Amino acid sequence: MSAAAVARLLADPGSAAEVKDWTSILAAARAESLAGSLAFRLKGMTLPEKVELLLEDARTGAEAGRTQALWEAEMARRALAPLGVPVILLKGTAYAAAGLEAATGRSIGDLDILVPREALPDVERALLADGWEWVKEDPYDDLYYRQWMHELPPLIHSTRDRMIDVHHTILPLTARPKPDAEALLLASIPLGDGLQILHPADMVVHAAAHLFADGDLAGGLRNLWDIDRLLREFSSRGYEFTVELRERAWEHQLEPAVARALRLARALYGTPVDHALAGRRQATDSLFLRRLVARDGWGRPTRRGLRFAFYLRSHWLRMPPLMLARHLWRKARR
Amino acid sequence: MHRLELRIGPVSFRIGSAWQRPLDQLRRLYAGYPPAETPCDFTVRLEPARPWRRFVRPSLTITGDYWLPDTAPLPLSLGLLAAEMGMNLQMALGQRRYLLLHAAAVEREGRAVLMTGLSGAGKSTLAALLGERGWRFMGDEFALLGLDDGLLHAFPRAVSLKNEALPLFAGVVAERLGPLLEGTPKGTIRHLRPDREAIMRMDEPARPVLILFPRFGADLASAVRPVGAAEVFVRLTQASTNYVALAERGFAALTGLVTAVPGRAIDYANGGEAVALVETLWEETR
Amino acid sequence: MAGPRFVADPPEAVRTVAIETLTALYHRPSGTTHILAPPAPQILEALAGRPGDADALLRRMEERFDLASDDAPNAVAARLAELEAAGLVRRA
């Protein structure tokens, strides 16, 4: 199980000396978007020359990606500064902008930002005026995004060809936990250039929410690595991070997600977690773990049945049953 | 998954396929190439487009470490082409150690000529032809520019030749030709394995001395025009898939190349004229 | 009418190579490469780390460079807009 081997290497870089099949490790790592993270984790280890060359390639790619992601945030800042509304960076771009460990080697995709719901029309106007355009053209999708999802329909910049996702809360309006968007905004931390990031405890809560309630666990191995890195860094800052994390998880009605994230991070990466917060191990934890490492040494997804079950579950969590049926019907007819 | 490992220049590929046949064809086409250097740089996978397409009117999708969504499946009969496309895709999307130029390259006496321009078998055929006329063939699809040494590194993969170009290669040993592939996006093609010298010397880089923009047309008069360094720079960045990923080192390598090496556009109506133009211009760079 | 003030990144943020009469510029913060024709490189130099509106910019350029054009104010305004869209200058 090569994805599991990648997780082991991330948790314990010293075990690199025992690796026999680096080709498979790299294929699985690339498929899980963890090649850059792995390459930085293994920096400084004594490795065969060819392995070192390939890891250096991964680091090169990750650095270029980081520059582009931060630049995209800067261009969004320039477009939105005149509005005077808070703009909170989320996920990978936030980790990079804040210089967090979680950003080291991380592959960063689209730019995700959080703004107050009332500001959405102005934000939309400002972005469209500065060269962004809509990606999707289907009016049904448009309505779905605006009415039910927690974001504007996706926008892409016409010359830079990079996507931006504008959120007003961290979970879809139709999802069953109801996070407190205002609390997120109030607690956010300024970066000094006009952009903000979430409070550390909110960052972890968001990562957990995104991992479970918002997706079908695709990319889960990477998201859990983020959580491992965030937890270790924030816990080492000397204040009562665990207390804050518990409070925020409760406030946003996401305690089960946070608890499960802690248990899975501990199981996969040996993350030190608070036992009370992590709660008792559940029988379904093994299903989650199996889904997370369902990737072979060719980079292929394995356990198709399990993956499909999680895919269905992710939609179930996002939408009331009647809506789900209608949505899947619409998608199938395309 | 059936498996084959292959090294072309500094890049080793692990190619997996649900069917044995394309790999057998690939192995024959690349006979004489050195063994792969593990771990392999990239993995390519040829998989059934849908589970039942493994057996029923078999068709495959090309994927691997790097892949593009929504690519059209190919019939199994074109499996060899799919493997080649898969390797190209890994290079185009994943190469981080050399600046990739979408160009053909040949060299003599350690001095290399780059031929670049729009896709179409023009530069491929020309490079292959020069390879048969005493030049060392370094590649027809990708030229690898060293980031620190500024040298061209060879990537001598098999050349895909259009049917119309095949008569030009009537003299080559039959064993160097791959199977006839019909119904490809470029019509009927055959692959040509580079000659022994190209294979033996694939690890020797060469200094670039000339950048050509070839244009083939049956009614064109033989002609040469200078191409300004700024124009060469812009055209090369547009044709490079990994320029952006290489950040400042890519900028340094490419500006270094275009400020040191002259660019020329050449027009020709047939292979003989083309070869003559290349040789004359190469001589002038001494 | 002075208009808004602009500023460009300091010299350490860019790397330039002259290619014939043009300037190839690598912008480190964005990782993008630009090919610039005069007066764009001169505008960037005049605004590097020093904010200025269009009038101030024109004065700086007249002092330092040879601006051979009656249409200089319009040309400078047009180039400024392009440089802003490209991310090479921003509002100060």
| pLDDT for residue B102 is more than 60 | yes
pLDDT tens for A256-278 read 999 999 999 999 999 999 999 99
pLDDT more than 70, % of chain B: 99
Output the six-digit token pair for B193. Answer: 């394995």
Output the six-digit token pair for B86. Answer: 């898969």
Return mean pLDDT, chain C: 90
User: Pick from A52, A41, A295, A8: which is nearest to B43 by CA?
Assistant: A295
The answer to whether residues A258 and A238 touch, using CB atoms and an 8 Å cutoff, is no
Q: Given the structure tokens 């090369």, which residue do they identify?
A: B236
Phi, psi of B74 (to 5 degrees): -115, 150
| pLDDT on residue A313 | 78
- Interface check for B45 against chain A (CB to CB < 8 A): the answer is yes
pLDDT band at A4 (very low <50, low <70, confident <90, very high): very high
pLDDT more than 90, % of chain A: 73
How far apart are alpha carbons A259 and B162 in whole angstroms? 61
* Packed helices A255-269 and A285-292: angle between N→C axes, nearest 10 degrees: 60
pLDDT tens for A293-316 read 999 999 999 988 888 888 887 777
How far apart are alpha carbons B9 and A75 in whole angstroms? 40
Residue type, B281: L
Return mean pLDDT, chain A: 90
pLDDT tens for B230-243 read 999 999 999 899 99
User: Is A51 within 8 Å of B39 when comparing Cβ atoms?
Assistant: yes
pLDDT band at B27 (very low <50, low <70, confident <90, very high): very high
Burial B108-146 (b: 16+ CB within 10 A, else e): beeebbbbbbeeebbbbbbbbbbbbeebbbbbbbbbbbe
C chain contacts of residue A96, beta-carbon cutoff 8 Å: none
C chain contacts of residue B248, beta-carbon cutoff 8 Å: 15, 26, 28
Residues in CB range of A118: below 8 A, 6 or more apart: none
| pLDDT on residue C75 | 84
| pLDDT on residue B117 | 86
Report the DSSP pairing between strands B223-227 and B136-139.
Answer: unpaired
Number of CB pairs, chain A paired with chain C, less than 8 A apart: 23
Task: Please give the residue of chain C at the shortest CA–CA distance from A78.
Answer: C90
User: Is C90 within 8 Å of A78 when comparing Cβ atoms?
Assistant: yes
pLDDT more than 90, % of chain C: 67
pLDDT band at A238 (very low <50, low <70, confident <90, very high): low
The neighbours of chain A, by the rule of 3 or more Cβ pairs under 8 Å, are B, C
| pLDDT on residue C17 | 98
Return mean pLDDT, chain B: 95
For residues B18-34, give the mean pLDDT. Answer: 97
**What is the pTM (predicted TM-score) of this model?**
0.93
The neighbours of chain C, by the rule of 3 or more Cβ pairs under 8 Å, are A, B
How far apart are alpha carbons B16 and B27 in whole angstroms? 13
pLDDT tens for A69-89 read 999 999 999 999 999 999 999
For residues C33-44, give the mean pLDDT. Answer: 94
| pLDDT on residue A213 | 66
pLDDT band at B120 (very low <50, low <70, confident <90, very high): low
Q: What is the DSSP string of C11-39?
A: GGGEEEEEETTEEEEEETTTTEEEEE-TT
Write down all domains in chain B, each with its CATH number in brackets. 2-94 (no CATH), 98-284 (3.40.50)
Distance from CA of C20 to the nearest CA of B (A): 7
| pLDDT for residue A176 is more than 70 | no
Among C14, C16, C17, most B C-beta atoms within 10 A, so best to mutate, is C17
pLDDT tens for B241-284 read 999 999 999 999 999 999 999 999 999 999 999 999 999 999 99
Q: If you compute the radius of gyration of chain C from its CA atoms, what whole number of angstroms results?
A: 12
| pLDDT on residue B278 | 97
Here the ipTM equals 0.94
Number of CB pairs, chain B paired with chain C, less than 8 A apart: 33
pLDDT band at A169 (very low <50, low <70, confident <90, very high): confident
B chain contacts of residue A61, beta-carbon cutoff 8 Å: 96, 245
Output the six-digit token pair for A85. Answer: 């509304």
Query: Is the peptide bond preceding residue B194 cis, with omega within 30 degrees of 0?
Result: no
Output the six-digit token pair for B177. Answer: 């030709």
A61, A67, A298 member nearest B96 (Cβ) = A61
| pLDDT for residue B4 is more than 90 | yes
pLDDT band at A214 (very low <50, low <70, confident <90, very high): low
pLDDT band at B141 (very low <50, low <70, confident <90, very high): very high
Phi, psi of A95 (to 5 degrees): -60, -40
| pLDDT on residue C61 | 86
Output the six-digit token pair for A262. Answer: 């802690």
How far apart are alpha carbons A267 and A287 in whole angstroms? 13
How far apart are alpha carbons A283 and B20 in whole angstroms? 42
Phi, psi of B7 (to 5 degrees): -115, 130
pLDDT band at A320 (very low <50, low <70, confident <90, very high): low
| pLDDT on residue C92 | 87
- Interface check for A74 against chain C (CB to CB < 8 A): the answer is yes
pLDDT tens for B169-193 read 999 999 999 999 999 988 999 999 9
- B residues 85..144 contacting A (CB < 8 A): 94, 96-97
User: Is C85 within 8 Å of A131 when comparing Cβ atoms?
Assistant: yes
For residues B200-213, give the mean pLDDT. Answer: 98
Sign of the Cα pseudo-torsion (B206, B209, B210, B211, in order): positive
DSSP state of A144: I
